[in-house]
Every structure is written in structure tokens, then in C-alpha cells.
């Protein structure tokens, strides 16, 4: 139904919203590279769960897990870029499609 579709789609956004701040704190605690690897692993498990889901609840849980993984992955990537950039080129480096 439309409501079930809404649950599945919003689960990712909700978990990403909830996971962003804890992921950023964890990046400072465990390091950028470790969080990039962990986030990618969690996203992989979430995607496998989506492919193997046999019920709505399983699908929503897999989407929640994927959102948490993306939070960790993006927090690690953003902080890594912030570390290697300077104030003069930070905006260009942070832009997703920076072109010269």
C-alpha cells in the first residue's frame, strides 16, 4: 500500500537524521578510516537485508540499518575532506560536483 511504501522510504531518512550526530562523534573517537570502513560494511549489510527481506518489518529494519551506515560513511568522508582542505579551497572540495 502507499502507507507501507512511505514507511520503507522514510525509514532511511529517519535513521540518517538520528545517526548523523552520533556518527560524527564516533568519527572523532575512532578515526576517519575506521568509520569509513565500518559505514561501508553497515551499508553492505543493509543492502543485503533489503535484497533478502521477506516481510515489511524486515525491509524497514534493513532500510534503517542502511541509513545508519550512510551516516557513518558520510561523516567519515566529510571530516576527511575537511582535514585535507584549507579555508581557501574548502567550499570547492566539499561541493559534490565541483568543476573548474
The CA-based dihedral angle spanning residues 62, 44, 70, 91, taken in that order and rounded to the nearest 10 degrees: -160
Query: pTM (2 decimals)?
Result: 0.83
Q: What is the pLDDT averaged over residues 3-19? A: 93
Band of pLDDT at residue 98, cut at 50, 70 and 90? very low
**Cβ-contact 59, 5 below 8 angstroms:** no
Q: With CA atoms as reference, report the closest residue to 21 among 55, 83, 71.
A: 71
**Cβ-contact 5, 58 below 8 angstroms:** no
Structure confidence at residue 86 (pLDDT): 86
Q: Residue 14: pLDDT above 80?
A: yes
Amino acid at each position: 500500500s502507499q502507507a507501507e511504501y512511505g514507511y520503507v522510504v522514510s525509514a532511511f531518512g529517519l535513521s540518517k537524521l538520528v545517526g548523523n550526530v552520533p556518527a560524527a562523534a564516533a568519527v572523532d573517537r575512532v578515526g576517519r578510516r575506521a568509520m569509513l570502513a565500518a559505514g561501508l560494511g553497515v551499508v553492505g549489510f543493509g543492502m543485503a537485508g533489503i535484497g533478502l527481506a521477506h516481510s515489511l518489518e524486515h525491509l524497514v529494519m534493513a532500510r534503517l540499518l542502511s541509513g545508519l551506515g550512510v551516516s557513518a560513511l558520510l561523516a567519515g568522508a566529510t571530516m576527511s575532506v575537511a582535514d585535507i582542505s584549507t579555508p581557501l579551497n574548502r567550499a570547492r572540495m566539499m561541493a559534490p560536483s565541483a568543476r573548474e
